[in-house]
């Protein structure tokens, strides 16, 4: 369906493949004995049949579940002793989440063993309800689970620990050993940032292959549905120091998909040393990830630091047969954030490695204005150059790696830090780029050539010097934006006419200003006496949709889970 961004959470269904109705919430064996045949083609056939029919929106859970507050919802906790396979010697356990609040629709869950699928019924007695939770409807047929959490033995003394969560539309998250949950992956993105509104496909049904006692990986099948497309997904998940997911997907388009995002990633970026003018915050940085990394088909490695812009902005990095892309967290010290609770320094990046040739298209980055860290405001995905026609089948595969560092060869020095600010003259902007220490830098800055350029403004030649704090090199340059509100920048280091660093890309944007007399945006330096810095409190008309649940997709809505 087409919804405001983040207002989608937890659209799901309860397709039952002929299973009989049961009393919802009543104590029953877990799972119930009702097997039906399951093969590698089952989910794909279901997706194909769904695409041939008309899209039907699934019912919502009762109103009292949807009216739960955030604290009430969190006060309903799953009992670990009731986890799927908890009383067996299986290597993985599965916990479940109740519906309600941001999750108004439910999913259907099956276990698969020896080619037979058995439904897992919803059982409210498997949850602990705290004092904050009111009495809730138990006998509505729309009730069911809203998501699931995977756990296995990863060396923790307290037993099996979690490593992945599937909950909300087609969203899922994972972590490696010792990491903290951060950014999310998604099954598919449709019309992200379009004026007509974003469409959120939903995983409506899951099949969990029963693991053997010594099995390290976990295989999950998922059925996706939306007004425009259906899909069959297979996740082969291997937890560990990095959590690796091998994804195979088959899409069946109901309509022409003119704006489709493959392997989409969703993250949060509030501020860092590039711009903190809007935030009175004791922390020097707040973000789940701080850059988009691209290994393009031309052999270049691009690093694009993320921004929290004043206005929605979309960047497209045109490519042919990309080698990989991902949203990464390169700030890895506690002091980078000074946050003892959120542990942003411990959050994973997510690297996408296409399986096969994805052809022509663009890695697309959508950056959404936000004022609070509870909103996901960064989206990255691969957008094919050609639309996907209606009534067609599309097969794709890719590998997702949840990691502290992208699993690509460290052939060139990485960008580890970017900072920006006004220069001493109060007019020119200064950009500072730190590159990590690397053998290519052993001959010192004099052996390297600086390349700084912009299609919009003239930049200084730049100064390259050793940074004693990192051991690497620092490149600093300046530019005068003049009346421009947007400036694209590119910088790199060369040695012996070959690349000696990642390619650094950035889009600088000016603070929007509103004319006090006519309340319209004008060029940056026009009539300074009639300007005031933009503030939602000062001129609400400038951002009429801030905080509203509006179709459009680029205004962050609803908290991150």
The 3-class SS string of 6-71 reads: CCCCCCCCCCCCCCCCCCCCCCCCCCCCCCEECCCCHHHHHHHHHHHCCCCCCCCCCHHHHCCCHH
Rounded to whole angstroms, the Cα distance separating 270 from 556 reads 12
The pLDDT value given to residue 529? 38
CA angle 326, 156, 71 (to 5 degrees): 70
Inform me whether the pLDDT recorded for 316 exceeds 80. Answer: yes
Confidence of residue 513 (pLDDT cuts 50, 70, 90): low
Sign of CA dihedral 107, 247, 386, 42: negative
Identify which has the larger pLDDT, 411 or 399: 399
Q: State the greatest distance between any 2 C-alpha atoms of the chain, in Å, as a whole number.
A: 76
The pLDDT value given to residue 295? 96
User: In this structure, what DSSP letter does residue 93 have?
Assistant: E
Identify which has the larger pLDDT, 280 or 548: 280
Inform me whether the pLDDT recorded for 345 exceeds 90. Answer: yes
Inform me whether the pLDDT recorded for 425 exceeds 70. Answer: yes
The pLDDT value given to residue 510? 87
Interval 48-59: pLDDT, tens: 999 999 999 999
Inform me whether the pLDDT recorded for 317 exceeds 90. Answer: yes
| CB-based contact 436:416 (threshold 8 Å) | yes
Average pLDDT of the residues in 218-229: 98
Confidence of residue 20 (pLDDT cuts 50, 70, 90): very low
Size of the chain, expressed as the number of residues it contains: 561
Inform me whether the pLDDT recorded for 441 exceeds 50. Answer: yes
Backbone angles phi, psi at 296, to 5 degrees: -85, 170
The pLDDT value given to residue 426? 87
The pLDDT value given to residue 33? 54
The pLDDT value given to residue 463? 97
Q: 198 to each of 201, 204, 227, 553, 554, how far by Cα in Å?
A: 10, 18, 12, 5, 9
- Of the candidates 262, 503, 257, 504, which has an alpha carbon nearest to the alpha carbon of residue 362? 262
The pLDDT value given to residue 251? 98
Give the three-state DSSP class for 376: coil
The pLDDT value given to residue 287? 97
Give the three-state DSSP class for 368: coil
The pLDDT value given to residue 158? 86
Backbone angles phi, psi at 72, to 5 degrees: -65, -45
Question: DSSP letters of 194-241?
Answer: -TT-EE--EEEEEEEEPPPTT---EEEEEEEE-SSEEEEEEEEEE-SS
The pLDDT value given to residue 411? 87
CA angle 115, 151, 292 (to 5 degrees): 105
Inform me whether the pLDDT recorded for 261 exceeds 60. Answer: yes
The pLDDT value given to residue 526? 41
- In this structure, whether the domain defined by 415-501 belongs to CATH 3.30.420.40 is answered with no
Lowest mean pLDDT among 191-195, 389-393, 488-492: 191-195
The pLDDT value given to residue 277? 84
Rounded to whole angstroms, the Cα distance separating 433 from 477 reads 9
Rounded to whole angstroms, the Cα distance separating 467 from 473 reads 5
Confidence of residue 435 (pLDDT cuts 50, 70, 90): very high
Place of tokens 């959490």: 149
Average pLDDT of the residues in 357-367: 97
Backbone angles phi, psi at 76, to 5 degrees: -105, 110
Rounded to whole angstroms, the Cα distance separating 189 from 224 reads 12
271 contacts: CB under 8 Å, gap ≥ 6: 278, 279, 281, 285, 286, 287, 308
Interval 450-487: pLDDT, tens: 999 999 999 999 999 999 999 999 999 999 999 999 99
Average pLDDT of the residues in 270-279: 91
In the chain, list all ranges with CATH 2.60.40.10. 415-501
- The mean predicted confidence, pLDDT, of the chain is 87
Pairing of strands 218-225, 202-209: antiparallel
Interval 149-161: pLDDT, tens: 999 999 998 899 9
The pLDDT value given to residue 409? 82
With a pLDDT cut of 70, the percent of the chain lying above it is 85
The pLDDT value given to residue 25? 30
Helix H or strand E segment including 74: helix 70-74
Highest mean pLDDT among 265-269, 424-428, 517-521: 265-269
The pLDDT value given to residue 338? 96
Inform me whether the pLDDT recorded for 334 exceeds 80. Answer: yes
Average pLDDT of the residues in 117-125: 95
Helix H or strand E segment including 165: strand 161-167
Q: Helices in 99-177 by DSSP H: which ranges?
A: none
Inform me whether the pLDDT recorded for 539 exceeds 60. Answer: no
Inform me whether the pLDDT recorded for 531 exceeds 80. Answer: no
The pLDDT value given to residue 278? 87
Sign of CA dihedral 534, 540, 545, 548: positive
């Amino acid at each position: 369906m087409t919804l405001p961004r983040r207002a989608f959470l937890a659209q799901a269904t309860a397709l039952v493949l002929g299973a009989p109705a049961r009393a919802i919430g009543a104590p029953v064996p877990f799972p119930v004995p009702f097997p039906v045949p399951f093969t590698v083609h089952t989910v794909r056939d279901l997706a194909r049949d769904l695409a041939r029919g008309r899209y039907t929106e699934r019912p919502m859970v009762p109103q009292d579940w949807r009216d739960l507050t955030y604290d009430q919802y969190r006060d309903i906790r799953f009992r670990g002793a009731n986890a799927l396979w908890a009383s067996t010697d299986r290597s993985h356990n599965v916990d479940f989440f109740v519906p309600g609040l941001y999750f108004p629709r439910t999913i259907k869950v099956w276990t698969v063993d020896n080619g037979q699928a058995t439904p897992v019924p919803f059982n409210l007695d498997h949850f602990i309800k705290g004092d904050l939770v009111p009495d809730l409807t138990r006998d509505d047929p729309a009730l069911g689970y809203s998501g699931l959490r995977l756990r296995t033995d990863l060396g923790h003394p307290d037993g099996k620990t979690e490593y992945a969560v599937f909950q909300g539309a087609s969203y899922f998250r994972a972590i490696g050993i010792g990491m903290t949950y951060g950014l999310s992956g998604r099954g598919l993105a449709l019309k992200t940032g379009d004026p007509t509104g974003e469409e959120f496909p939903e995983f409506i049904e899951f099949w969990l292959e029963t693991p053997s006692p010594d099995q390290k990986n976990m295989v999950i099948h998922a059925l996706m549905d939306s007004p425009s497309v259906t899909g069959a997904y297979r996740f082969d998940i291997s937890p560990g120091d990095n959590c690796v997911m091998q994804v195979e997907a088959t899409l069946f388009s109901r309509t022409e998909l003119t704006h489709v995002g493959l392997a989409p990633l969703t993250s949060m970026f509030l501020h860092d040393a590039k711009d903190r003018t809007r935030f009175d915050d004791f922390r020097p940085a707040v973000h789940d990830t701080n850059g988009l990394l691209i290994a393009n088909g031309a052999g270049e490695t691009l690093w694009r630091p993320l921004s929290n812009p004043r206005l929605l902005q979309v960047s497209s990095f045109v490519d042919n047969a990309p080698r990989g892309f991902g949203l990464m967290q390169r700030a890895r010290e506690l002091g980078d954030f000074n946050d003892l609770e959120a542990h942003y320094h411990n959050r994973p990046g997510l690297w996408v490695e296409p399986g096969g040739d994805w052809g022509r298209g663009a890695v697309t980055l959508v950056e959404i204005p936000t004022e609070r860290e509870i909103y996901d405001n960064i989206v990255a995905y691969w957008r094919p150059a050609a639309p996907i026609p209606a009534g067609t089948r599309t097969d794709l595969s890719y590998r997702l790696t949840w990691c502290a560092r992208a699993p690509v060869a460290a052939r060139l020095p990485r960008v580890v830090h970017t900072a920006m600010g006004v220069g001493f003259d109060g007019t020119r902007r200064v950009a500072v780029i730190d590159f990590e220490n690397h053998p290519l830098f052993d001959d010192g800055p004099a052996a390297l050539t600086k390349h700084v350029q912009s299609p919009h403004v003239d930049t200084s030649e730049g100064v390259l010097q050793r940074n004693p704090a990192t051991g690497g090199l620092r490149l600093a340059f300046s530019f005068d934006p003049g009346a421009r509100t947007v400036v694209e920048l590119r910088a790199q280091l060369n040695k012996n006419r070959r690349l000696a660093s990642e390619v650094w890309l950035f889009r600088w944007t000016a603070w929007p200003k509103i004319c006090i007399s006519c309340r319209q945006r004008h060029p940056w330096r026009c009539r300074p006496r009639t300007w005031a810095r933009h503030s939602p409190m000062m001129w609400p008309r400038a951002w009429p949709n801030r905080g509203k649940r509006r179709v459009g997709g680029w205004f962050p809505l609803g908290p991150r889970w």
